[in-house]
């Protein structure tokens, strides 16, 4: 059940994972110190989109999304969005609104994504990434079966390459920090999008790492990684619905605290993750709420509803290079938003 929090600015008392793995109920309180800051941390800017689901291009609320999902933020500040139920991939150019560095507006245009071989159209895209050379990479569902997942590459010269990548559910996609290619996750495996072909998952992840256990060591089924983020520290961070993982350059995978011990679980439905350059802070969207993890401590930094009731339901995430602005797609109100982080300075 959603809770409407009655304060305009929030901080969160520390959440610790008890030995029983049962987490305390979070307590929200007004941050009076932040009231003196011109733009407080954890302020939300609505930059594009609105309640109407049509796939209209335009500026700010004149543009429309329908269940926006995965995001990619480029170093030049351009944002790409998988507009899932409009079956579109969108480009958002973000700038200060009317020259005001405390407000932002996004101008939305639609990328050209024609049908591929045999007329297979882009359907319910979940992830998007645009290479440095302009190649568009995306992951989408089959219009004929929700369990068939395809990867597709649109090259700048008009070629289209499509490959079935999974038979489970929509998977993660992230650009390699030190190369112009993309990683994607499948069922217990990791593959790559190159310039003109998709390398099917050839990195097999150990099944045992993805199994959930109870306090007695009894197995309670395996989770597969559904999101992935390539970090500047050389680590790829991944998440299943309720557990975080790291994948090193040597392809060693391990769980990140807090660790699920069935039936207690630190998370309920993780849909996306990003991390700071040093990997010390991980941000995630979990059942519409935005949380951060530092040293195994989970903190909610944006609940679903604030005093206006308009925070929406966070789904996809993107973090700017200064680690001060967290972009998120809102699937309740079909918008793209910015959440300011501690140390944010309007620019």
Written as tens digits, the pLDDT of the chain (347 aa) is 343 332 233 232 332 322 333 333 333 233 333 333 367 889 899 999 986 888 999 999 999 999 999 999 999 889 999 999 999 999 999 988 776 666 789 999 999 999 998 899 999 999 999 999 999 999 999 888 877 899 999 999 999 999 998 876 668 999 999 999 999 998 888 999 999 999 987 788 888 888 888 999 999 888 889 999 999 999 999 999 999 999 998 889 999 999 999 888 889 999 999 999 999 999 999 999 999 999 999 999 999 765 455 678 999 999 999 999 999 999 989 999 999 999 887 65
Give the C-alpha separation, 205 to 220, whole Å. Answer: 18
Q: How far apart are CA 264 and CA 281, in angstroms?
A: 23
Task: State the pLDDT at residue 50.
Answer: 85
pLDDT at 320: 95
* pLDDT value of residue 6: 29
Alpha helices in the chain (DSSP H): none
Domains present along the chain, CATH in parentheses? 10-340 (2.120.10.30)
Produce one character per residue of 155-187: b if its CB has 16 or more CB atoms within 10 Å, e if not. eeeeeebbeebbeeebbbbbbeeeeebbbbbbb
The tokens of 296 are what?
Answer: 């195994």
How many angstroms from the chain centroid is the CA of residue 99? Answer: 29
Using CA atoms, how far apart are residues 281 and 175, in angstroms rounded to an integer? 19
Which pLDDT belongs to residue 186? Answer: 81
Rounded distance between C-alpha atoms, residue 181 and residue 331, angstroms: 28
Looking only at the bridges linking them, the beta strands covering 261-262 and 211-214 are parallel
């Amino acid at each position: 059940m959603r809770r409407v929090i009655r304060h305009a600015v929030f901080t969160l008392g520390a959440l610790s994972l008890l030995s029983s793995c049962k987490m305390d109920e979070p307590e929200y309180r007004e941050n009076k110190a932040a009231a003196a800051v011109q733009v407080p941390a954890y302020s939300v800017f609505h930059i594009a989109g609105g309640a109407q689901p049509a796939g209209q291009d335009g500026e700010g609320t004149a543009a429309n999304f329908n269940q926006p999902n995965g995001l990619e933020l480029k170093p030049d500040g351009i944002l790409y969005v998988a507009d899932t139920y409009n079956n579109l991939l969108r480009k958002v150019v973000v700038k200060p609104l009317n020259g005001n560095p405390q407000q932002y507006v996004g101008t939305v245009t639609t990328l050209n994504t024609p049908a591929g071989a045999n007329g297979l159209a882009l359907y319910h895209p979940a992830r998007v990434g645009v290479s440095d050379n302009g190649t568009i990479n995306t992951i989408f569902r089959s219009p004929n079966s929700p369990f068939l997942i395809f990867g597709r590459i649109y090259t700048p010269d008009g070629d289209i390459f499509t490959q079935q990548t999974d038979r489970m559910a929509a998977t993660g996609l992230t650009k390699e920090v030190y190369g112009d290619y993309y990683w994607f996750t499948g069922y217990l495996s990791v593959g790559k999008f190159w310039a003109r072909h998709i390398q099917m998952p050839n990195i097999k992840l150990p099944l045992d790492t993805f199994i959930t256990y109870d306090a007695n060591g009894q197995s309670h089924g395996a989770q597969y990684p559904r999101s992935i983020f390539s970090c500047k520290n050389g680590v790829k961070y991944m998440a299943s619905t309720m557990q975080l993982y790291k994948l090193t350059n040597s392809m060693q995978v391990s769980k990140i605290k807090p660790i699920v011990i069935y039936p207690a679980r630190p998370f309920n439905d993780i849909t996306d993750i990003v991390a700071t350059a040093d990997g010390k802070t991980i941000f995630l969207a979990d059942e519409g709420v935005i949380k951060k993890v530092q040293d195994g401590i989970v903190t909610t930094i944006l609940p679903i509803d604030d005093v206006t009731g308009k925070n929406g339901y966070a789904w996809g995430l993107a973090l700017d290079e200064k680690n001060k602005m967290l972009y998120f797609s809102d699937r309740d109100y079909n918008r793209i938003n910015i959440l300011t982080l501690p140390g944010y300075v309007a620019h």
